[in-house]
Structure 1
Amino acid sequence: MLILRKLRLKYILELRKAVSLKTHAIRCLSSTKLTPETQVATPLIINETYGQPTSTTHPHLINEGQLVPGVCVEEFRERRSRLMGGLQKFAKENPTNENEPSKNHLVIIPSACKKFMSDKIPYVFRQNSDFYYLSGCLEPDTVLMISINEQALVKSTLFMRPKDKHAELWDGPRTGINNALDMFGVEEAYPSNEFKKILSSRLKDEKPVLWYDAARADLVQITKDVNDLTENTIPVKTPVEFIQSMRLFKSIAEQALMRQTCQIASEAINEVIREARPGHSEHHIFAMVDYKCRMRNANYLAYPPVVASGNNATTIHYINNTQLTKSGDLVLLDAGCEYGGYTSDITRTWPINGTFRDEQKVLYEVLQQIQKELIATIQNEGGETLDNLFELMCIKMGKYMQEIGLIPKYISTSDELAKEGYKFCPHHVSHYLGMDVHDTPLMPRTLRILPGMVFTIEPGIYIAHDRIDVPKEFRGIGLRIEDDVLITANKSVEVLTSSCIKDRSDIELLFKAKS
């Protein structure tokens, strides 16, 4: 299993090479051929209804030529071609049957399904990220099937809900089968209930290597159909690691979306810091950041935010958000938004009354200095990977905490300092960021940092109120500073959240200005 994982990781760089970091116009790979369409595609019609916003129905959200905000249909075609080419190459160089290496491949990626909080009351629908990345389709109960043959011909097929006036009366419009071809740039489209019949035919005629991840699939019937047709006689492999290795490196279009989602959240958090006052509840601050992000066209918050005041901030994933803030408390706000399918993730900590107490000031300046040094180290010695940055953070935390008297002077080695520093920040300092907040979790944090990657830098200090090994005035204080960074094509480090206020003096000036 470990050997197979290492072989797969070898293809991360292979897949990355096809990501265009030089031009906004994304084109299909010249070596990949698409099969002729089996149905006639129809152009988007102004008076037609679709299952998601389009440039004709929502020109204020989507520009002409784009399938979804910021991304054109050609980029989705290119992603599918690149995935299939990568799988085919991997299988050729690592055959399971050395005498007859597989050449035909078929990938099945299901969408998310609608989920309910109670009878007939749905949660807000969010599309499966891998499905969205490869199709641009925002409808539930949909399946994407992609195949490649010996001649490197790639064919994409969507199985969708057909138009249904009665169902659409209740749940809104559907794109339908006829509109799917031109809208999503696929070669075939069928009603969802024909999936099993089509898959059976393809398995019989093409005898492909089958790629499907049942563990991550929402659509129970699709998993049942796949199991029925394979009957433990056809091996089924997961494509998820390959897809995540593509998603790890953001295209020019994706980088623009990351800038936008980070800018929205940065501006929203700045306003929250300026307007929040002692006596506001954590829940009120939650509502403020949610409202301010949505008013800047974010779809919604990317995750339940942490709004932690006082000692609550020493609980790393505190999301109860029920306490009233008190003058003298710090407030830790960890929030981000989703825009066009891409997420931001920011944390800021500030005094609710606008003035840092001496002990808060000391800890905040230590934390900000650590983060500054970590960002400066990215791609340099000690900062080549996310794990390197974490190890460095622990050492720096130990050294600075020792300087301010919170760690004994007799501790001297780097390992000892790192161990003591970890006690103040027991979480990793970075994770990948993109379509999901904790993006591409199968990609190890030991990978070398390369252009196109986006990730967080988020050191924290957490001193519980019941710790007896630190002076009393430092107990019950929690802080975190988190920014999102992009490695650009020229290998520079772009802090996407740089407009979100962070310097201690700037925060205090902001409060003086509002009063």
Structure 2
Amino acid sequence: MSNLLRKLFYCATATRRKNASQLYIRSIASVNKESVQMLDQRVTRLQRSGETFGQPTPFTHPHLLQKGELIQGITAEEIQGRRNRLMENIQKYDYNLHKKYSTHLIVIPSASKKYMSDKIPYVFRQNSDFLYFTGCQEPESVLVLYIDANQNSKSILFVRPKDKHSELWDGPRTGVENATNLFLVDEAFSVSDFSKVIPKFGRIDFLWYDNKCDQPTITEQINSIVSRTSAKLTEALTLFIHKQRVIKSESEIKLMRKTCEIASEAINKTIRTSKPGDSEHHIFATVDYHCRMNGASYLAYPPVVASGSNATTIHYINNSQIVNPMDLVLMDAGCEYGGYTSDITRTWPISGSFTQPQLVLYEIIHTVQKELISKTKNILKVSKFIFLKSQMFLDTLLREGGFTLDSLFDTMCLQLGSYLQEIGLIQKGLVGMDLAKAAYSYCPHHVSHYLGMDVHDTSTVSRSVHLQPGMVCTVEPGIYISRDRKDVPEEFRGIGIRIEDDVLVTSDNNIEVLTKACVKDPTLLTQQIRSSN
């Protein structure tokens, strides 16, 4: 996407004309709470009569879903509102750009089943964008949203039809007949009818679709439509989706708190029970076990369990070495609960005692992280960031409107560099960009990313966007000194340390550390390990 289009996208609401600001998307499926309750009751009646659906419902899984919820913690009504908001945002953007109302077709496919070998599937994980706008957990499905020039809209879900033979092997499907009731869409069709149904919409000015989606058949059909009609293929859809997803609702925030709570406790238990002689794989299995036993579906990503010098490899996932008595263990792990992920890193001495070089570096990273979180708590009062030694970086922080992940990274580089100067790992006299570059050689990754349904969530949202209430992100400074780094005293070589927490920007522009229950203070950490051993 061009810089101009990106700029227009982020500035659309600021330049909106008065009549455009009053746009309203009229959806056939817009229903009140009483209608939602009636549909919920209808689904329950269908299930009592023996009808099956392709995912848990409050009737079949009352331990997971409350009445009215379509997926864990999220109601069908909220999901319907997400669809309407996406259509409103696209229509407003289009009007601001072209000063007229156009017809739009928005296509969001589900994930496809993947196989590790012949007939052996991987655990299915739904495409996050599709799940966000449908609540549907079945593969090989497609959501279509249509907006006409009069601002009327329609939602259509294409799903797999019921098939007794397939369901015998792979489990029940919701089917075409039940999709409108369960997912609150206007219409439903078999996914095999996609190419027949779309042409019936008539003229389409803009077709919104991400060509990187993993349903090649749908991509072929989309490209065919574009080649045969005057529809303009617009690949900016993901920008709109991610801009919406990066701000979490109250329901989503509750799920984020829960997934962080589960992972925090699981990591605490894993630290307490780890001991010299364990394998990294054993520690991996321990954190996986505790996450699942406390309600998580699975780990959010392959965890890093890196002992000794393995911790200097940032994405080490072999997890196959035996932990030696003098080793630090760096574990980067999180879980998924209700479709939302946590992401935590802790580093601890397996014996319960740091060596002096280990402790020096650990205290630096711990201090840097505490200061970053503390200073970010006043994100709308960035004039308080007077600790910076370079006016250039101060100007970065004082961008109009607030604090950003990029400015947090700038801050981390300068803070880390300053502390490393004090212990002689960076030469004194370096300031500003030179100091930041020197620190970057010790921590060559960004200090933060957005977090939500995906671990590296909403990747198209720039890290230069100002932090806003409802955003969740990580704060993860680290230091990695390889064994062969000759410009560093030998006692520091082979040490890797990272501390990572997940933080929420609250409605009052404060910071809530969602993973605060996970121990990281060096004194408390060693006490916890010694008391268990």
Q: Does 1:385 align with 2:404?
A: yes
Contact 1:11 1:86 in 2 (8 A): no
Alignment equivalent of 1:460, drawn from 458, 475, 478:
478
Per-residue Cα deviation, 1:106-150 (whole angstroms, up to 9, x for no partner)? 101000000001100111101011101100100000000011223
1:291 pairs with 273, 289, 296, which one?
289
Partner of 1:56: 59
Partner of 1:75: 78
Query: Which segment drifts farther, 276-285 or 223-232?
Result: 223-232
Q: Give the paired residue count.
A: 492
Aligned counterpart for 1:336 among listed residues 322, 334, 340: 334
2:265 to 264, 267, 275: 267
Secondary structure of the equivalent of 1:67?
Answer: strand
Q: Counterpart of 1:26? A: none
Could you say which residue in structure 1 is the equivalent of 2:392? Answer: none
Letter in 1 for 2:104: H
Counterpart in the other structure of 2:390:
none
- Name the SS for the 1:231 alignment partner: helix
1: CA distance between counterparts of 2:448 and 2:6?
22
Which residue does the alignment assign to 1:225? 221
What residue number does 2:208 align with?
211
Within-5 A mapping of 1:124-135: 124-135=123-134
Cα gap change, 1:269 to 1:11, in 2 (>3 Å): farther
CA contact (8 A) 1:384 1:448 kept: yes
Tell me the equivalent position of 2:247.
Answer: 249
Secondary structure at the residue paired with 1:424?
coil
**What amino acid is aligned across from residue 129 of structure 1 in structure 2?**
S
Which amino acid is 2:227 matched to?
A: E
Instruction: Give the partner amino acid of 1:480.
Output: R
Q: Encode CA deviations 1:52-83: one digit per residue, 9 max, x unaligned.
A: 11111111111111000000011111110010
Which residue number corresponds to residue 201 of structure 1? 200
Percentage of pairs with the same residue: 53
The whole-number CA distance in structure 2 between the counterparts of 1:487 and 1:424 is 28
Deviations 1:309-335 (A, max 9, x none): 000000111111110000010000000
Answer whether contact 1:12 1:246 (CA < 8 A) is retained: no
Question: Hey, what does 1:149 align to over in structure 2?
Answer: 148
> Gaps spanning 5+ residues in structure 2: where?
17-21, 31-37, 383-396
Amino acid across the alignment from 1:155: K
Q: Which shifted more, 224-233 or 283-292? A: 224-233
The residue number in structure 2 matching 1:34 is 27
Match of 1:406 among 420, 425, 433: 425
Asked if the contact 2:24/2:88 (under 8 Å) is kept, the reply is no
SS of equivalent to 1:443? coil
Q: Secondary structure in 1 aligned to 2:464?
A: coil
CA distance in 2, matches of 1:168, 1:420: 59
Q: How far did residue 14 of structure 1 move?
A: 10
Secondary structure of 1:43's counterpart equals: helix
Deviations 1:210-248 (A, max 9, x none): 111122x11111111112222164211121110000011
2:9 is matched with: 8
Structure 1 contact 487–494 (Cα < 8 Å) conserved: yes
Residue 506 of structure 1: which of 524, 527, 532 is its match?
524
1:350 and 2:345 are equivalent in the alignment: no
Cα distance in 1 between the residues matched to 2:13 and 2:43: 36
Matching residue's letter, 1:210: L
The question of whether the paired residues in 2 share the 8 Å contact of 1:110 and 1:219 is answered with yes
Q: CA deviation at 1:105?
A: 1.3
| C-alpha deviation, 1:30, in angstroms | 11
Q: How does 1:295-374 map to 2 (within 5 A)?
A: 295-374=293-372
Map of 1:23 onto structure 2: none
TM-score of the superposed pair, with normalisation by structure 1? 0.92
Q: Tell me which stretches of 4 or more aligned residues in structure 1 moved more than 6 Å.
A: 12-15
RMSD of equivalent CA atoms: 1.9
The 5-angstrom pairing of residues 123-202 of structure 1 reads: 123-202=122-201
1:447 corresponds in structure 2 to 465
Question: Do the aligned residues in 2 keep the contact of 1:156 with 1:188 (CA within 8 Å)?
Answer: yes
- Superposed counterparts of 1:422-433, under 5 Å: 422-433=440-451
Shift of 1:207: 2.8
Q: Measure how far apart 1:36 and its partner are.
A: 6.2
Unaligned runs of 5+ in 1: 16-28
Query: Counterpart of 2:87 in 1: which secondary structure?
Result: helix
